[in-house]
Amino acid sequence: MIEWMPDKDYGRFPPEYLESALYYLQESPFEILTYNELPWGDDRNYADGYPGEYGRWVANRDASKTYVMLQHDVDMFPGRTLRILKLEAELSIRSNVMIFKDYHDRASLELGGELIFEEYLTEEIIKAFQEYERMGFVIGYHVNVYEQTGYDIERAQEKYHNDVEYLRRFFDIKYCSPHGGARDANGKSNYILDLPDGLNLKWVNNFHGITCKGTYSDSMLFREGKTAKDFLGMCEPGNRYQVLTHPQHYYEVYKSW
């Protein structure tokens, strides 16, 4: 198994690492935003961090507040994300949730070259995410099609478009974020794909994305031992920050690989 991947019986970190960050957000003077609350206007310039949107936001911010956008990438085990959303709803926190259309086992692809799709968006999971979307959570698309199409850019772009159209049958998909995922022979992954024409998507994280004073990813837990709460403790009023987590890593039974 790839070293950092959890399996169905284990997580990577104790759930308190993420839960403590949520309580800190709720108890401290943060203004928590979803992507729906940003002043996008007609700004489509994702390559430069949506400068028009950012300029409008700066002009209308409250300089006494610290703004945070919380994003969860649902790379596997969506039930673990739903547990986090339940806690967030209880704390009056609304987050941004990036989901796949199809989930495949990354270890099988990287180690054996075999693309194996597994259960992910069941009817029950779809209905649960829909309920949170009705509560003000944002559901977006997590792009993982480059590896699923054998690193064929043309086929990947087509599946990208089709995935979004399928997910829009259930959710109001307006935002996307590339999955790191398995890499091609040149070390490239899903971020090399362009936004498909005609879908009016906003690219919010990973390689391109919104402009922020600082960005946290729980990959920092792997590299530096820095938790989301550690990062939030360094955030300053008058600025906005993006906090990315992967809820599948936080589980009651965990290993430190």
In a domain, 2, yes or no: no
Higher pLDDT among residues 3 and 157, named by residue: 157
Helix (H, G, I), strand (E, B) or coil at 127: helix
Cα distance between residue 172 and residue 164, in whole Å: 10
Q: Measuring CA to CA, which residue among 230, 243, 252, 217 is closest to residue 13?
A: 252
Q: What is the pLDDT of residue 256?
A: 54
pLDDT band of residue 111 (cuts 50, 70, 90) is: confident
In a domain, 22, yes or no: yes
pLDDT band of residue 130 (cuts 50, 70, 90) is: very high
Higher pLDDT among residues 213 and 1, named by residue: 213
Chain length of the chain: 257
Q: Measuring CA to CA, which residue among 215, 196, 218, 213 is closest to residue 205?
A: 215
Does residue 242 surpass a pLDDT of 80? yes
In a domain, 236, yes or no: yes
> Which residue segment(s) compose the domain that 41 sits in?
16-248
Helix (H, G, I), strand (E, B) or coil at 170: coil
In a domain, 9, yes or no: no
In a domain, 6, yes or no: no
Q: What is the pLDDT of residue 153?
A: 98
Helix (H, G, I), strand (E, B) or coil at 225: coil
In a domain, 50, yes or no: yes
Q: What is the pLDDT of residue 7?
A: 72
Cα distance between residue 171 and residue 10, in whole Å: 29
The one-letter amino acid at 97? V
Using alpha carbons, list the distances in angstroms from residue 52 to 62, 234, 246, 250: 18, 27, 29, 36
**What's the domain count of the chain?**
1
Using alpha carbons, list the distances in angstroms from residue 5 to 45, 120, 225: 34, 16, 17
Q: Measuring CA to CA, which residue among 18, 60, 19, 21 is closest to residue 37?
A: 60
Does residue 32 surpass a pLDDT of 60? yes
- Model's pTM, two decimal places? 0.94
In a domain, 42, yes or no: yes
In a domain, 198, yes or no: yes
**DSSP H/E element including 100:** none
* Rounded-to-10 torsion of CA 68, 131, 204, 42: -100
Average pLDDT of the segment spanning 103-113: 88
Does residue 107 surpass a pLDDT of 90? no
- For 50-106, what is each residue's pLDDT tens digit? 999 999 999 999 999 999 999 999 999 999 999 999 999 999 999 999 999 999 988
Does residue 151 surpass a pLDDT of 50? yes
**Mind giving me the DSSP string for 39-90?**
--TT---GGGT-HHHHHHHHHH--TTSEEEEEEEEE-S-HHHHHHHHHHHHH
Token code pair at residue 34: 């979803």
96: domain CATH number is: 3.20.20
- For 192-226, what is each residue's pLDDT tens digit? 999 999 999 999 999 999 999 999 999 999 899 99
pLDDT band of residue 252 (cuts 50, 70, 90) is: confident
**DSSP H/E element including 116:** none
pLDDT band of residue 1 (cuts 50, 70, 90) is: very low
Q: What is the pLDDT of residue 2?
A: 44
Over the chain, what is the mean pLDDT?
Answer: 94
pLDDT band of residue 128 (cuts 50, 70, 90) is: very high
Q: What is the pLDDT of residue 98?
A: 99
